[in-house]
Structure 1
Amino acid sequence: MSIAHLRKDYQQASLTESDVTADPIEQFGIWFDQALKADAAEANAMSLSTVTDDGRPTSRIVLIKEFDQRGFCWFTNYDSAKGKDLATNPYAALLFFWSALERQVRIEGRIEKVSSEENDTYFYSRPLGSRQSANASAQSQTIANRDLLEQQLASVVGTFGDQPPRPEHWGGYRLVPEKIEFWQGRSSRLHDRIVYTRNADGRWSIGRLQP
């Protein structure tokens, strides 16, 4: 079978304006809980898209670690490629795809860094190996081979043991949403798309987009 003929007809559910809540964060929480209950693979994984200083888009998968009325939060190395993108262009897009439920959520908005207190709280809740790796890796920088990376890790372990500190260049970002779209797959590609847009007064308006 050719790639052109690969397709799936989505038939699990529908999405109407009366199905969603007035608050998109609350609606996201409902869908996120349903994705967890459906045992969707890596339900907390999302595509993060940023733009370089010369206008080129770039994407990668990261893990959401918190969401509330303030926005959607993840943690990373501030000196990484995405960190440099966000330093020059503090806007981004997130995409969740839960194939088990035939659903997507698209989120767009501005970026802010989370507080040092929030960074510390999350960093010291991470497994020891993850804390050591955060100290050992100069994320997105070229390295000659895997052995050198392992040596950097060994140096961190030798220096800090089981109490590695949070590096100053490591922390969280929060996307403050301006637009959130809920996408439900439907038969014959006539999908349901409900979009929330934040108004100047901070309130949300709800509309339907054609598929």
Structure 2
Amino acid sequence: MSPTLSDLRKSYEHGELDEQASRSDPREQFEAWLQEAIDVGLDEPTAMTLATVGEDGRPSTRVVLLKGCDARGLVWYTNYDSRKGRELAHQPCAALQFHWLALERVVRIEGRVEKTSAEESDAYFRSRPFDSRIGAWASPQSQVIGSRAVLVAQAAKFAALHLGDPPRPPHWGGYRLVPDRWEFWQGRRSRLHDRLRYRLQDGAWLRERLAP
């Protein structure tokens, strides 16, 4: 007989995270963990869940891909007219979450969100494959459409219109989350997981251990 959902469980025994071994700067800690996820060959190590809130207070999540990380924050690109774009225009704060299951790790980041500069968005857009650039023109993201044929027709239209080198659409570009809070979670045995939170206090990062 197949196990019920309540019977499914896993013992986390891959690693540990303590204050002495962690970095004092959370971005450095994140970059070290991200590099390890890349090095061990995890699928989509840059995939992150983005949580936003609408005008009605209703939260929503979706998966986007990290495309930049430096002292200014974490960057992804999308359609500004999409649901997430509309919600960020109303409430420019968001949360990100990375879940690297094989490493039994989660990273959560919170902060305010701003648009990247037009120059940054242009540069990234030019680096994308031609089909992806056409897709940014063809898809009215988050809007109701009659069928997939609508997308195919739109893609053909814009491919013919922008032969060779499509410019960046005005409704498409980057967002940057500027963190004021990070949390690093490492699975441990007996559900006594390690949780280290960093929060910005008077311009410096305060590192705290949280109960699991």
TM-score range, shorter chain: over 0.9
Contact (CA 8 Å) 1:38, 1:100: kept in 2 or not?
no
Once the two structures are superposed, the pairs formed by residues 1-211 of structure 1 within 5 Å of their partners are: 1-199=3-201, 201-211=202-212
SS at match of 1:143: coil
Give structure 1 regions of 4+ aligned residues with deviation exceeding 3 angstroms: none
Q: Deviations over 1:153-172 (max 9, x none)?
A: 01001111221110011000
- Are the counterparts in 2 of residues 179 and 195 from structure 1 also a CA contact under 8 Å? yes
Q: 2:211 is matched by which residue type in structure 1?
A: Q
The count of aligned residue pairs is 210
Name the amino acid aligned to 2:56.
Answer: D
**Residues 62-100 of structure 1: CA deviation (Å, up to 9, x unaligned):** 000000111100000000000000000000000000011
Secondary structure, counterpart of 1:18 in structure 2: coil
TM-score between both structures, scaled by the size of structure 1: 0.98
Distance in 1 between residues matched to 2:21 and 2:71, nearest whole Å: 20
Q: CA RMSD in A?
A: 0.6
Q: Distance in 2 between matches of 1:149 and 1:37?
A: 36
Query: Is there any run of 5+ residues in structure 2 with no aligned partner, and where?
Result: none
Question: Which secondary structure does the structure 2 equivalent of 1:33 belong to?
Answer: helix
Return the offset for 1:19: 1.1
Q: Percent identity?
A: 53
Deviation at 1:41, TM superposition (A): 1.6
3-state DSSP of counterpart to 2:168 = coil
Gaps of 5+ in 1: none
What do the CA deviations read for 1:13-64 (whole angstroms, capped 9, x no partner)?
1110011111001111100000001111210000000000110000000000
**Distance in structure 2 (CA, Å) of the matches to 1:116 and 1:148:** 29
The one-letter amino acid of 1:72's match is L
